[in-house]
Amino acid sequence: MEGSRVFMIDQNKLPFHFKIASFDNYLETCRAIRDMTVRGAGAIGSAAGFAMAQASLMANEQHYEHELEKARKEIEGTRPTARNLFYAVERVFTAALKSTDQAAEEALSIADQDAKDSLAIGQLGMELIPDRARIGTHCNAGWLAFTDFGTALSPIYLAHEAGKKVFVYIDETRPRSQGARLTAWELNNAGIEHVIIPDNATAHFLSRGDIHLMIVGADRIAANGDVANKIGTLEKALAAKRYGVPFYVAAPSSTFDLLCEEGTMIDIELRSEAEVLYVEGPDDQGIVRKIRTASPGSHALNPAFDITPVDLLTGIITEKGIIENPSKQSIEEVISG
Ligand code: MRU
């Protein structure tokens, strides 16, 4: 954030163009969160914190608190499953009640804290990765999704930096293809060996013993350890359990919602059917085109997330420690302790 302007990498343009977009007020920043210019629970949280700080700068002094409340509701409505969004909005809202300067400082400190958490997740999580590991991941939980190294990808980045040989299976992550577009782009840039597989191929590779370990991110984790993450996570977790492959979730404590008792209580965002019915990308001439791939006249359902029950998890890698076989009690001990 510079002055009242927020800058972000436009993730909708990746991997074909790298463009930094800027947003002058909180309503524009809300639009960027909704249309997924910025995405990934942590990055959404950071952006939401900055949006709240922008709202405090814009608010009319006479109706300051009322306008802050209005902005808060608007921001919270953008991507309701991402816990970090509510966490950041709450913190910056409270700071904004004191002053606009404190709001901006608080928003920055959330991003700084995320960077520290990301490093700690990586340092703890890399111990789970043996040399020559073949790791599966889903969606994008890298540095585009959480400052600085990401969540699920942080242990992979640090293992690679430490000289371990790693190979990553990235599934496409339909309908928006965050795996094929964003995770593949990140790993290409980092020089980490990987391959993109169709969404429906993970169970096949797990069944053959080709994938030794799965690590995914989370959008919200309930008090009992149930995890909301990108649609398709549940299927991978079920297959991993069937074939005895360890399945880890990597997430900071800011993604836990200890007031939410279990996964069934998590609000699952429903997105536009167009994301399922059409694909978008550049043709051979580099012109971006949107093409319908589904039968004309049919409709689609597009839940953005699913819930993986805690009993399918081997553990949760947090910045405070790895919670093996998570339970309400062990989560409370690590997260609140
Ligand atoms: O819809 P998205 O792309 O925002 O969903 C992202 C995910 O599901 C990630 O796995 C999750 O946010 C963790 S990334 C810190």
For the stretch 73-124, pLDDT in tens is: 999 999 999 999 999 999 999 999 999 999 999 999 999 999 999 999 999 9
User: From the CB of residue 135, how many other CB atoms can be counted at a distance below 10 Å?
Assistant: 24
Q: Are 244 and 211 in contact (CB under 8 A)?
A: no
From CA 179, how far away is CA 6, in angstroms rounded? 26
Of all residues in the chain, the percent with pLDDT exceeding 90 is 100
* Token pair 């609000």: residue: 267
User: From the CB of residue 123, how many other CB atoms can be counted at a distance below 10 Å?
Assistant: 15
Residue 219 has pLDDT above 90, yes or no: yes
Residue 311: its pLDDT value, please? 98
* Token pair 């689609």: residue: 300
Of all residues in the chain, the percent with pLDDT exceeding 70 is 100
Q: How far is the CA of 58 from the centre of ligand 1 (A)?
A: 29
Residue 56: its pLDDT value, please? 98
From CA 98, how far away is CA 83, in angstroms rounded? 24
Q: How far is the CA of 29 from the centre of ligand 1 (A)?
A: 18
- Note the pLDDT tens digit of each residue in 273-296: 999 999 999 999 999 999 999 999
Q: CB of 40 closer than 6 A to ligand 1?
A: yes
Stretch (H or E) spanning 220: strand 220-222
Q: Are 225 and 310 in contact (CB under 8 A)?
A: yes
The mean per-residue pLDDT over the stretch 151-176 comes to: 98
Residue 232 has pLDDT above 90, yes or no: yes
What number does the ligand 1 atom closest to the CA of 82 have? 12
Residue 206: its pLDDT value, please? 98
Mutate-to-test residue for ligand 1 from 12, 36, 113, 140, highest number of ligand atoms within 8 A of CB: 140
Bond prior to 15 in cis (omega within 30° of 0): yes
The two tokens of residue 216 are 């995914």
Residue 315: its pLDDT value, please? 98
The mean per-residue pLDDT over the stretch 133-160 comes to: 97
Considering only CA atoms, which residue is closest to atom 6 of ligand 1? 40
Cα dihedral value 171, 172, 174, 175, nearest 10: 150
Buried/exposed code over 288-313 (b: 16+ C-beta within 10 A; e: otherwise): eeeeeeeeeeeeeebebbbbbbbebb
- Residue 15 DSSP label: T
Catalytic residue among 114, 171, 219, 306: 219
Q: How far is the CA of 144 from the centre of ligand 1 (A)?
A: 10
Q: Are 33 and 42 in contact (CB under 8 A)?
A: no
Q: What are the backbone dihedrals phi and psi of residue 123, each rounded to the nearest 5 degrees, phi first?
A: -65, -40
Residue 337 has pLDDT above 90, yes or no: no
Q: How far is the CA of 62 from the centre of ligand 1 (A)?
A: 38
- Note the pLDDT tens digit of each residue in 303-330: 999 999 999 999 999 999 999 999 999 9
Considering only CA atoms, which residue is closest to atom 10 of ligand 1? 217
Q: Checking DSSP bridges between strand 220-222 and strand 193-197, what pairing results, if any? A: unpaired
Q: How much is the pTM?
A: 0.97
**219 is a catalytic site residue:** yes
User: Which three-class secondary structure state does DSSP give residue 230?
Assistant: strand
Residue 322: its pLDDT value, please? 98
